[in-house]
Amino acid sequence: MLQILLLLSLLASSGCAWLDARQRELIYRPTPGSPAELTDLRAGEEHYFVNLPANARPPDDSDHQPLTADAGTVNNTQRIELWWLPHPDKSAPTLLYLHGTFRTVPQNRHKIDALREAGFAVLAVEYRGWGLSTAITPSEQTLVQDADAAWAELQRREPRAAQRVIYGHSMGSGVAVDLASRLKARQDYGALILESAFTSFADVASEAGLFASLLLHLNNERFASIDKITHVHAPLLMIHGSADTTIPIRLGRQLFMAANPPKRWLNIHDGAHSDLQQIGHAQYQATLQRFKNDYLSGSSSAKP
């Protein structure tokens, strides 16, 4: 084991691109080639692609797949996959859905449906490396770029800044905090919702053991939400399960304690990492609807 660790350290210090790509695959577990659309799109719902600007592809990243249509590119342009799922109530706030590792948007449909049940229109994004978006090995940089592109699309869909909501689950919480920390509350967006969130990749890796800690030490993937949350001044709702073994609830609480008010916390008893909308359905729905009514109704006298 010591020899393996020394070899990995040597390869990392030598700038080995292959090792860096393999590390990112282990961290993010991208899932390309999933179904192209949600199975029950109804009237008004859309599945489409948005091209990314030329500078979204790091010039020194040699691990991208060949630029072909099969790899999610058209005319040498990289793209992301999007789903627009409006709410029957035209006045409903609009939520940007940022998912976690491994699962694609269609595989997150149960959670998206729960958010729509709570009264939100949803724009869901498939990062590059997932679904039919451009096939790459993702990084913190590419995930942030994809979120920015999706945010531009959300602004087009939802002209009311105060009715825009950023939502992130698991790894997506790191993407969401990064995005929110660079925007202005009320001027750009109205609220932030985080589910099964963490303080930083380093803390998650420490909980996972020696191999995970070493893996993170040997690359630049950080998503240090604990350092960025203080720059968020929008109303915050955080939801976590008491039985989450992927991201322990104490990491979520630490992030919550560091956040600015107004903020609310919901602990779903016996909830795991991805089943909170099911295990605590009544609590989940009631809390989301109350949060929406208090902070996204246009009232200036929202409760803390």
Higher pLDDT among residues 43 and 286, named by residue = 286
- How far, in Å, CA of 289 to CA of 47, rounded? 26
| Omega within 30 of 0 (cis) for the link into 262 | yes
Task: Supply the pLDDT for residue 182.
Answer: 98
User: Residue 74 has which token pair?
Assistant: 């058209």
Identity at 181, one-letter amino acid code: S
- How far, in Å, CA of 250 to CA of 256, rounded? 10
User: Residue 49 has which token pair?
Assistant: 């692609």
Lowest mean pLDDT among 32-36, 76-80, 156-160: 32-36
Mean pLDDT of the chain: 86
Task: Supply the pLDDT for residue 31.
Answer: 93
Task: Supply the pLDDT for residue 68.
Answer: 38
220: Cα separation from own chain's centroid: 18
Torsion of CA 66, 83, 101, 34, to 10 degrees: -60
Whether the CB-CB separation of 296 and 270 falls below 8 Å is answered with no
Task: Supply the pLDDT for residue 62.
Answer: 45
Average pLDDT over residues 214-236: 84
Model confidence at 84: pLDDT above 50: yes
- How far, in Å, CA of 240 to CA of 280, rounded? 11
Model confidence at 65: pLDDT above 80: no
Average pLDDT over residues 24-45: 83
Q: What percent of the chain clears pLDDT 70, i.e. is strictly above it?
A: 80
* pTM for the model: 0.87
Model confidence at 270: pLDDT above 60: yes
Average pLDDT over residues 149-156: 98
